[in-house]
Amino acid sequence: MNAITQTSAAGGLADWIAPARTALVIIDMQVDFAAPDGRIGQWGVDLSAVPPALEKAQALARAARAAGAPVVFVGLFTRPETDSPAWKARMLRRGGDPDDDSALCRAGERGSDFYGPTPQPGDPVVEKARYSGFHDAPLHEVLKGLGADTLVVAGLTTECCVDCTVRDAFHLDYHVFIATDACAAYEPDVHAAALKSLELNCAILVDTDQVIDAWRGAA
């Protein structure tokens, strides 16, 4: 599991992720997943891997805007009517509280607010109610409207909503690059395993500095 080498990135990456064809997609960097007082933090989950990823995603957003690449925010926005019976049954069978666990990122509540990088005027925001940004959500239409056939992906969490969105993007014939240091999971081994699987099957791994260097030349 390695980001592409600087040698190959020097020529290839700048063309592969040229701003005219590429969108930066930031997934689920929201209060409930990332803030100490969000729901995941309140559950006592170790969030120490999250702040560095937020900082890298913010740097990517600045670089994308400077280079003219669109920044698309994808977020989980749940409502009682979108709560999945399968999700609630799974949580119950695992001994959890399905009503409490289903209340992550409730639309209209602070938990669903973006945290770290935040949308600026003109940035598309795609609301979803499942793991993948493409499932029953307009992400594909938004990207096509932007003329993007290539994605640079950042977000939370690596093994869940990033993974599901990346796989669906690949199945829809997008060229997918994952900024590995702008993603995070709550457990380092889970983050590493997810990236290894995605690299083997769906995406090319890069780091934030490589992307910024490539876009700086296009600005």
Instruction: Decide: 47 and 34 in contact? Cβ < 8 Å.
Output: yes
Q: Is 163 a catalytic residue?
A: no
| 56: annotated active-site residue | no
Active site residue 28: yes
Of 105, 128, 181, 207, the catalytic one is 128
Annotated active-site residue in 28, 168, 181, 207: 28
Alpha carbons 207 and 215: distance in angstroms, whole number = 13
Residue of 161, 164, 168, 207 marked active site:
161
Cβ proximity of 175 and 13 under 8 Å: no
CB neighbourhood size of 83 (10 A): 15
Q: Which stretch of DSSP H or E encloses residue 25? A: strand 22-27
Catalytic residues: 28, 128, 161
